[in-house]
Amino acid sequence: MWTLISALSAGALLGIFIFLFGEFGDLEIRLLVTTLAIGGFSLTGLCCSTIYKYDKLKTFAALGMATSVFGFIINLTGIWELWDTDSTVRFMATFIILSISFAHISLLLLLSPAKRLIQNIQKATITTIGIVGAMLVVAVFNEFENSEFYFRILGVFAILDVLGTILMPILNKTLSQDD
């Protein structure tokens, strides 16, 4: 945890310094994007860590945290061109998508809905997050040259994802007060 705090603090100071005094050359841009990657992947890993305390969710949480760590490493090697192939950007994007999906699901799993309706909304929303993530990864690997229909369906699932994410905590609170 102290390593995470130190890395985030150092990244923040570096980013502030670059914004105030940098010239926005290649090095400064890479440092800023590295700082962004540290913050983003730390956030997704932290979201996944919130459910690690639950025995039946430990494996999912660990997989999400590992995806964030591995995603950071992949993105870092891409940012600094340590690994430069035609697929580098695809893998970078894939791990961003996977890390965000794991984090999103982890936060939804923090809610323990008592009502069957909310449990079903939770399951449907988690499934929808998986579908959106998978569809985005496919689009990345197809260089976004999917059909118009593909993106229409992706949009439908993205809307359902947002709807479920917003409805679940509201209904959980509202319906639990009705008892």
Q: What is the residue-level pLDDT of the chain in tens, covering all 179 positions?
A: 677 778 788 888 988 988 899 888 899 899 899 999 999 999 999 999 999 999 999 999 999 999 999 999 999 999 999 987 889 999 999 999 999 999 999 999 999 998 999 999 999 999 999 999 999 999 999 999 999 999 999 999 999 999 999 999 999 999 877 65
Sign of CA dihedral 73, 58, 40, 31: negative
How do the domains of the chain map onto residue ranges?
46-177
Q: Show the tokens assigned to 49.
A: 């860590």
Euclidean distance between the first and final Cα of the chain, in Å? Answer: 40
Digit-coded pLDDT (tens) for 26-69: 998 998 999 999 999 999 999 999 999 999 999 999 999 999 99
CA dist., res. 165 & res. 19, Å (int): 35
Q: Show the tokens assigned to 100.
A: 């965000």
Reference 50, options 122, 12, 102, 118; nearest CA is 102
C-alpha R_g of the chain = 19
Q: Is 113 in a helix, a strand, or coil?
A: coil
pTM for the model: 0.90
Q: How far is CA 17 from CA 12, 32, 170, in A?
A: 9, 10, 41
Residue 1: predicted pLDDT: 62
**Residue 48 burial by CB count (10 A; 0-12/13-18/19+): exposed, middle or buried?**
buried
Element at 57 (helix H, strand E): none
